[in-house]
Structure 1
Amino acid sequence: MVLNPARYLIRLDDLCPTMRRDRYEHFLSIAARYKVPPILAVVPANQDPELDLQSPDPEFWERMRSCEDAGATIAMHGYRHQCTNQGKSLLGLHEDTEFAGVEESLQRKWIRCGLAILRGHGLNPRLFVAPRHGFDDATLRALACEGLGILSDGFASRPFMRSDILWIPQQLWEPVPKKTGLWTICIHPNTTSAAHEAKLQEFLAENDDRFTSFDDVVADAPPNRLRWNERVEEALTNLRVRVSRAKSRTALSN
């Protein structure tokens, strides 16, 4: 059996008017240079002090509209990006989250308000990105009820349906060569190191034909669930990521 070669998406996270303008513009220029249409994860109403890095950029929303017009896809990145709850997330990567553990009616309100803010700025949010991968079953129901039926997260190697939501997996934080599957590389422009940036540019230069777009992924995504063996591999990958992150936190604390 001949398998399709691996494809990649790029997602830029934590975009908001008070993030470092030079950093997100830099990564947008890299994506444009290699003609890669990124997913832009935009925080509708940021109240996270860690993203309050400069005075608000008066041209931020116009820049986002221009990027969308040029082919980028807008994702709603939480609501306020305040990760002060400690509910149990489905993926379990972080203890502090914005959405997991919150009453479903309030989650629906946050999603509804966040969508209204983004649309009020002339953007068309197409999918959801939970801050710190923090979401639960109530989040998925709220997303479906509010008509935002696509999620960028999870550790499978292909898109799949779960809880009436299309999951487009996001498994990488730097380029890793793969033979098959769909792989989303998540970049945090504020904090990405020079070494990781150089690795990304080198990978793009060698594999730009392997990068795809959100629209093409959605058009090609089969509306089915993961098979049992795919669920096992997804769970094992999730476990490996959790163990790796736990080791990193332990090393930093010593």
Structure 2
Amino acid sequence: MNKLNILIRFDDICPTMDYSQFKKATDLLDKYNVHPLIGVIPECQDEELLIEEYHSDFWNYIKELEKKGYKIAMHGFNHVYDTKTRGNINCGFKSEFAGHSFIKQYEKIKKGKEILESHNVYTDVFFAPSHSYDDNTLRALSKCGFKYISDGYSKKIIRRYGIKCVPCRTTGVPKIKNKGNYTAVFHAHEWVRSDKAHAYNELENLLKKYSNSIKDFDIFVDQPQGNYAIQNIIEKVTVFYLRYIKSKLSYVKHNVLKL
């Protein structure tokens, strides 16, 4: 592995997504011959993602992307938040998985996998909406045959309940240094918003500057695992900072310093 390795991830891929925005992404990715990890929602019921009419050729489209080298992940089940629970790492109190019993989560994950496989889409990679999962999620994923989750605030890959946790430390484009492993996350349907349109340019700049360091998922995860104790501490410290310190610093910056 190189000193610098970058994975590009796209969330919220479903039959009713904004295809014109996602095409902008795929055209750019094709230009640089980059193959991202894409999160497919098995049975999307999130009203915010009911953007276009259901595309009947969606699953064939996903298979075509897979043939091009895109890595398919299962992105939750229906993308509906039905608990007010933080989960292991996220700051917001909403989740599709965290807070549910092991049995409930197992049923969701099993059904989602069955839906994907009914369309000949097979994957052992998962990530939850809003980065919200807990130990029961990992246990259920393991029982359903998954091997990877694209999430966590460790700096290196660690294994929990038999699942390799591949760090995803930001919700957008991370600040990239000259070495390390980074995951850049994009939501193409948000690019129509004035406050999110810059993300397309961020993708383009990332591809221009770091195309030689961007890796396919299978290569990206082929790296030595970190020391569990050390990486676990890094994650806990990062979560504490994001939940209890960063918000206070932002308040001071935007309110107190203006006085």
Report if TM-score (shorter chain) is over 0.5. yes
Residue 92 to residue 199, structure 1, CA distance change in 2 (3 Å): closer
Equivalent residue number for residue 124 of structure 1:
122
The C-alpha deviation readout for 1:136-176, integer Å capped at 9, x for no partner, is: 11111100111112100011222121222101111231252
Separation of aligned partners in 1, 2:185 and 2:90: 18
Separation of aligned partners in 2, 1:112 and 1:149: 14
The C-alpha deviation readout for 1:47-73, integer Å capped at 9, x for no partner, is: 111111111122221111100111111
Equivalent residue number for residue 210 of structure 1:
213
Separation of aligned partners in 1, 2:164 and 2:106: 18
Contact 1:93 1:132 in 2 (8 A): no
**Counterparts in 2 of 1:217-236, with a 5 A limit?**
217-218=220-221, 220-223=222-225, 225-228=227-230, 230-236=231-237
Equivalent residue number for residue 112 of structure 1:
110
Equivalent residue number for residue 141 of structure 2:
143
Equivalent residue number for residue 161 of structure 1:
159
Equivalent residue number for residue 189 of structure 1:
188
The alignment partner of 2:38 has SS state of strand
The alignment partner of 2:10 has SS state of strand
**Counterparts in 2 of 1:1-254, with a 5 A limit?**
4-172=2-170, 173-192=172-191, 193-218=196-221, 220-223=222-225, 225-228=227-230, 230-242=231-243, 244=246, 247=250
Separation of aligned partners in 2, 1:66 and 1:206: 27
Instruction: Look up the equivalent residue of 1:55 and give its one-letter code.
Output: E
The alignment partner of 1:191 has SS state of helix
The alpha carbon displacement at 1:115 in A equals 0.5
Separation of aligned partners in 1, 2:97 and 2:13: 18
Unaligned runs of 5+ in 1: none
Q: Normalising to structure 1: TM-score of the pair?
A: 0.89
Residue 239 to residue 190, structure 1, CA distance change in 2 (3 Å): farther
State how many pairs are aligned.
246
Unaligned runs of 5+ in 2: 255-259
Contact 1:73 1:126 in 2 (8 A): no
The alpha carbon displacement at 1:129 in A equals 0.7
Q: Normalising to structure 2: TM-score of the pair?
A: 0.87
The alpha carbon displacement at 1:216 in A equals 0.8
The alignment-based identity, stated in percent, is 30
Aligned residues: CA RMSD: 2.2
